[in-house]
Structure 1
Amino acid sequence: MSAYLVSETRTIAAPAQQLFDIVADPGRHPEIDGSGSVRAVRGGGPQRLSLGAKFGMDMHLGANYKIENTVVEFEEGRQLAWRHFNGHVWRYTFTPVDGGTEVTEQWDARPLPIWNRVGLQLTRFPTRNRRGIEKTLDRLAEIATGSHPA
């Protein structure tokens, strides 16, 4: 696996469509985000993501900033991915299995130019993203199974 592709998988005891619907709602991203960087959805975007949809987020990573994302992969109930201006792709896949759904979240920086990828390694971004992804999948499981306070 590439140092520029961080991928984690969990089996969650919930239907794939239910999990997909949570991730496809940008208003829920601050709730499921395990990195602590997603603060709020920005107004004017869609309530549900679809291919080509653009949605903005208020973020915090050392400082407050705003980011706009574009949905670049969309298969209803199965896969959803978005990219922001720098080219990173955040991808979720949902695969039904016995007892629930196998959910994979990926942070994919492989499309970035080499100079940008080197900077990511120097700042340990892939390692930090892995911890955030693990926490995000834990939160998604808690929300979907009802063990998370609403």
Structure 2
Amino acid sequence: MTSPSNNPREVSVSRVIAADPAAIFAVLADPSKHPIIDGSGSLVHVKGNPSQLVLGDKFSMNMKIGFSYSIKNTVVEYEKDRLIGWRHFGRHVWRYTLEPVDGGTKVTETFDWSGAIIPKVIELQHYPEKHPVAMAKTLERLDTYVTTGEVPGN
């Protein structure tokens, strides 16, 4: 489900996962798990061996979108078991919010490019239209991984 936002430079997708926030947050705050849940197919692997992320932590990912590259991220939003968000040099934020609800946790993934250095480049690449599909797949994969312990298939 795509959620509307008051911010015109933000897109979000939500899903209720039958798990408690702490179990979900443990996966989101562990960069080594990000390639497992990634619905875009762009995350290859985390560089190094970072522990559970907290505010201000930095972590690097090897990526592939057409070509291979590495990107360094910084955790810029954090509330244990409720919120984690990171950004890289482009200054757009990937954010996850977790809200306890009946039957589990509502997880919302948000791509926020309101602080991006050159937001028009993001828009010209049509990322705001493309990302929600991958975000929904990420939340589906997160659901599978957290609720079954199995690595989702591609």
Q: Which runs of 5+ in 2 are unaligned?
A: none
Q: Which runs of 4+ in 1 moved over 6 A?
A: none
- Specify which of 88, 95, 100 is matched with residue 92 of structure 2: 88
Partner residue, 1:49: 53
SS, match of residue 31 in structure 1 = helix
- Once the 2 structures are TM-superposed, how far is the Cα of residue 15 of structure 1 from its aligned partner? 0.6
Partner residue, 1:58: 62
Structure 2 CA distance for aligned equivalents of residues 84 and 16 of structure 1: 25
- Specify which of 11, 36, 43 is matched with residue 38 of structure 1: 43
Partner residue, 2:25: 20
Q: Which runs of 5+ in 1 are unaligned?
A: none
- Contact 2:36–2:151, Cα closer than 8 Å, also in 1: no
- Once the 2 structures are TM-superposed, how far is the Cα of residue 16 of structure 1 from its aligned partner? 0.6
How many residues are aligned here?
Answer: 147
TM-score (norm 1): 0.93
Letter in 2 for 1:141: D
- Specify which of 95, 100, 108 is matched with residue 104 of structure 1: 108
Structure 2 CA distance for aligned equivalents of residues 3 and 124 of structure 1: 14
**Identity over aligned pairs, percent:** 45
| CA shift digits 1:44-76 (9 cap, x unpaired) | x52210110000000011111100000011111
Partner residue, 1:141: 143
- Once the 2 structures are TM-superposed, how far is the Cα of residue 3 of structure 1 from its aligned partner? 4.4
Structure 2 CA distance for aligned equivalents of residues 147 and 77 of structure 1: 19
Structure 2 CA distance for aligned equivalents of residues 6 and 106 of structure 1: 6
Structure 2 CA distance for aligned equivalents of residues 119 and 28 of structure 1: 29
